[in-house]
Amino acid sequence: MAQATPPPDASTKAQPVEPVVASEHSGPGRIGVALNFDKTTHQPTIAILTRGGPAADFGFRVGDVIIKIDKNYTNTLSEDDARLALHGEPGSAVELTVQRGDNPKLIIRSLVRRIPSPNAEDMVNPPMDEVANVSGAHT
């Protein structure tokens, strides 16, 4: 008689779908964000946007919670791997799934990494006329 597979131990962390390989994310391309990580959920939140960076250009906001980076749920990644997954060759794409506030609709955007300008300014709260309106948008 076959035995049932026991459920995963609650203390065992889920594994990423696709491991983040440093050699694939070593390029100078960035999306223009700085992250903070929630101590309970381990999910990254956008803390700072770079003016003119891909994330600001696509309408992401400070406070947006990143749920997925490409195919990986962020709560399965270490803080270092989550940051590394956002890096890559300029012109390469990264897909982010974010949640804004308590809105149950997720925002999914594919961003193209760019080399940040050495004169780029960090924005804690970008003016809304400088970013695209993406509230509740799905793509």
In a domain, 5, yes or no: no
Q: What is the pLDDT of residue 12?
A: 54
Domain that holds residue 97: 27-124
Average pLDDT, integer, range 40-66: 93
Residue of 2 and 72 predicted with greater confidence: 72
- Residue 102's contacts (CB-CB under 8 Å, 6 or more residues apart) are none
In a domain, 86, yes or no: yes
Dig out the tokens for 47 from the structure. 């803390």
Read off the pLDDT band of 125 (50, 70, 90).
Answer: low
pLDDT above 80 for 27: yes
What domain count does the chain have? Answer: 1
The sign of the torsion formed by the CA atoms of 121, 139, 70, 97 equals positive
pTM: 0.76
Least confident of 16-25, 83-92, 101-110, 125-134: 125-134
pLDDT above 90 for 131: no
Residue 3: count of CB within 10 angstroms of its CB: 5
CATH number of the domain encompassing residue 35: 2.30.42.10
Least confident of 7-11, 60-64, 107-111, 133-137: 133-137
Average pLDDT, integer, range 70-88: 93
In a domain, 138, yes or no: no
Helix (H) or strand (E) holding 54: helix 54-57
